[in-house]
A and B are shown apart, each in its own frame.
Chain A
């Protein structure tokens, strides 16, 4: 049981390049989330998904797109990277059951945009 995994762990991009971050979970969770964490800002929600084929905007969605084609995977895309997107990105998942309300996080992806 790997929990939540993220690929890649590190990436350096040039301004204007695109990339996709992959999140995978093996806990059969319905809900999945993408956050970014910047110094002094705490974690901020980018997008989230409540099930396969559904996505919704979070607090800071601009410049990002997401897809949830399979229940276990949640992809975060940057179409044209900007230096302001330099951050640590965390994916998380959670059961839909309110009795199990813990969010489980992946190890993070450290992205630098030059």
Chain B
């Protein structure tokens, strides 16, 4: 079983649609959770951190369910510029200090069309 699993998609949605991505992780000791965005042939960039209480940043909402080891990202009112690969990321905690090491899911491809 992969440590972080995502539906690779691709997701093709029209502008204005709402789209949701899901992710599961296997390490119950993980403490930090993120969504990164990666544009085609570019480097990953942090989209948002994910907190237990859930958090929102404009059109983006992230949620964490520790009991189910499940992370989600909701994008409302999709824009053409949201087209990218969305990476679910979990800190690679194995006891002691993780030194910020991260484990990445394979990514979910989103294409928003006119």
Whether A42 and B87, one on each chain, are in contact in the complex, defined by CB atoms closer than 8 angstroms, is yes
Q: B59-114: which residues lie under 8 A (CB-CB) from chain A?
A: 87, 92, 99-102, 104-107
Contact status A40-B106, CB under 8 Å: yes
- What total of A-B pairs shows CB separation below 8 Å? 47
List residues of B (33-65) whose CB comes within 8 Å of A's CBs: 41-46, 49
| Cα(A5)–Cα(B11), bound, Å | 32
Residues of the A chain whose Cβ atoms lie less than 8 Å from the Cβ of B101: 33, 45, 48, 58
Are the CB atoms of B106 and A45 closer together than 8 Å?
A: no
Q: How many residues of B contact A (CB 8 A)?
A: 20
Nearest CB to that of B45 among chain A residues?
A105
A13-52 interface (Cβ within 8 A of B): 31, 33, 35, 40-45, 48, 50
A34 to chain B, nearest CB (A): 12
**Chain A nearest CB: distance from B42 CB in Å?**
7
Decide if B99 touches A48 in the complex (CB within 8 Å): yes
| Chain B residues with CB under 8 A of A41 | 106
In the complex, the 8 A-B pairs of residues with the closest C-beta atoms, listed nearest first: A105-B43, A42-B106, A42-B104, A43-B104, A102-B46, A94-B100, A31-B100, A50-B99
